[in-house]
Amino acid sequence: MNEAEIRRALTTMTFERTIHYYRTLDSTNIRAKTLIDGGAREGTLVIADEQTSGHGRFGRKWVSESGKNLTFSLILQPKLPADKLGVVSLYASLAIAKAIENFVPAKPECKWPNDVLIDGKKVCGILSKAITVGSILKGVVVGIGINVNQQKFPEEIGATATSLSIIAGKTFDRYEILATILKTMESIYYEMQNGILGNILKEWMRYSTIVGKEIRIDRHGSVISGTATGLADDGGLIVRSNGKELKMLAGEVTIIQKENRP
């Protein structure tokens, strides 16, 4: 990719159009954090064709073939209280699901809290990180990895990863996918910016198939099983387990039964 072409492709109107493009970078999230520390504005984009330390949650690796996919971080400054920042990942996964459904013949699905799947396989992972100084929110780094044109994945994720290209059987213009994702993020951002989270959560549910299903949720080795019943207003996942409603704020969800609706 190159910066001039990225700029030409972008159609966002209100997000800042500052672009930091790198052919190789350790991680766009790390770079975006440094930029926030230096006062970068909302909408600043950090994008790399290759990351040497691309990562997910809990220090896990994000693996992406150089020049085939999109790995970028967007800086946002939502006016949300600290206890609602969990919604940012849901907002981003919703926007991505809405954006990519125009390009593939299957409906993308949001998997709580930070993945987008197609045909049950992961096509996108999101890593959001709030950067605060004391109790002041300086910005949120929304890191997005989306598999666009990669055809083969390393063995360890071969059975669980997919790409837009594998699903649609064609090669995509990465500039067009990036521009559509950012445009869609911008188009629903004002709701989050103004603290109106209801629509985002409701829409997210339309892209999720988790509600009504038996799930297992692993939180650093402590495992809870139950039925996913919905989302709390801070984006937490509500799980009914042993007759109690519990709110989960983080964890790894596995669906263990397809249907359990009343």
Residues that bind ligand BT5 (CB under 6 A): 27-29, 51, 54-58, 60-64, 71-73, 114-115, 122, 125-127, 143-145, 147, 157, 161
8-state DSSP, 61: B
Shortest CB 258 distance to ligand BT5, Å: 22
The runs of H, that is alpha helices, within the chain are 3-9, 28-37, 87-100, 164-168, 174-193, 198-206
Cis peptide before 108 (omega within 30 of 0): no
Spell out a b/e string for 89-108, using b for 16 or more CB atoms within 10 Å of the CB, else e: bbbbbbbbbbbbbebbeeeb
Shortest distance, position 62 Cβ to ligand BT5, whole Å? 4
Torsion-angle region of 24 (φ positive above 0: left; ψ -120 to 50: alpha; else: beta): beta
State in angstroms the smallest separation of the CB of 172 from ligand BT5: 15
Give me the least distance between CB of 237 and ligand BT5, in Å please: 14
* Cβ closest to ligand BT5, residue 114 vs residue 149: 114
Q: Which residues of 134-171 are buried (b: 16+ CB within 10 A; e: fewer)?
A: eeebbbbbbbbbbbbbbeebeeeeeeebbbbbbbeeee
Whether residue 148 contacts residue 187, with contact meaning beta carbons closer than 8 Å, is answered with no
218 pairs with which residues across the strands?
Answer: 223, 252
CB of 235 to ligand BT5, least distance (A): 15
CB of 152 to ligand BT5, least distance (A): 11
* φ, ψ for residue 26, nearest 5 deg: -65, -60
Query: What is the nearest approach in angstroms of ligand BT5 to the Cβ of residue 212?
Result: 23
Report the distance separating Cα 51 and Cα 62, nearest Å. 9
CA distance 110 to 204: 7
**Would you say 22 or 260 has its CB closer to ligand BT5?**
22
Return the number of the residue (68 or 183) whose C-beta is nearest ligand BT5: 68
* Nearer of residues 114 and 165 to ligand BT5, judged by Cβ: 114
Of the two residues 60 and 170, which places its CB atom closer to ligand BT5 in the complex? 60
Which residue type does 7 have? Answer: R
- 89 or 227: whose CB is closer to ligand BT5? 89
Pick 15 or 72: Cβ nearer ligand BT5: 72
